[in-house]
Structure 1
Amino acid sequence: MFMPKFKMRHLKDVQYFLGAKPNYDVTKECIVNTKPFRELVGSLMYACWITRPDICTAVNFYSQFQTDATEVQWVGLKRVLRYLKGTLYLGLRFEGIIDVPLLGYAHANFAN
C-alpha cells in the first residue's frame, strides 16, 4: 500500500490513528521540503475518499500543516500509516444486487 512508497515497511501497528491530544506546535523547523509530507497527505486523502473513511479526521487535521509541518506532525502522519498497517482488513465493500431496481425519492417544496 503506502509503506513501500514512503519507505516505511517496518512500522509497528497501532489501534488509534490520532493521538488523544494532537500537537499543533509549528515553532520548530519546517520539514515540508525535506520529507514527503504533502505526498503522504495526498495519498492518505485518496485512501480516505475511496475505501477508508475512518481516517478522514486525522487526514483533515494533518492537511492543515502542508506549508509549515514540523517533525511532530510528520510523526503523527506516520501514526496514520501505522494504523492502516494494522487494519488492512477494513474497508468499504459494495455488493451489487442485479434483480432490485434502483428507486429514489426526493422531498423538495422549493421554498413554498
Structure 2
Amino acid sequence: MAKEQKAEGTEETNGSDPTVGFAGKIEAKYHELKKHAEAYPYVWASYMVVYGGFGLWFAYRWRKLRKTEDRVRALQERLRQLAQAEESASKSSSTPSNEGKPPK
C-alpha cells in the first residue's frame, strides 16, 4: 500500500526484489534511461555525436582495410601466376637439346 502512495516520478527500482524478474529489471532500467534522456537531451545528443563519429570513423577504416586486403590478395595471385609462368618457361628451356653440340 505504501508503494501506491508514492509519487509516480519516484519509482523504486530495487534490485533485490525477488518478484521482479530479469525482464522487469531491464524494463525499469529502460524507463530510467528514458527519463534521463528526456530531462537532459543535450547530454544524450553529445553522446550520439561523439560515439556516432567514432562509429563512422571505424567503419571507414574497416572498409579501407578490406579494400587494401583485396588489392594485396589480387597482386599476390598475379605474382604467383607470373612466377609459375616463369618457372614453366625456365623448365622448358632447360630441357636437353642437341643444338650447338657436335654429334657423336
Q: State the structure with bigger RCO (CA 8 A, min sep 6), 1 or 2.
A: 1
Normalising by the smaller structure, the TM-score range is: under 0.3
Rg larger in structure: 2
* TM-score, normalised by the number of residues in structure 1: 0.20
* TM-score, normalised by the number of residues in structure 2: 0.21
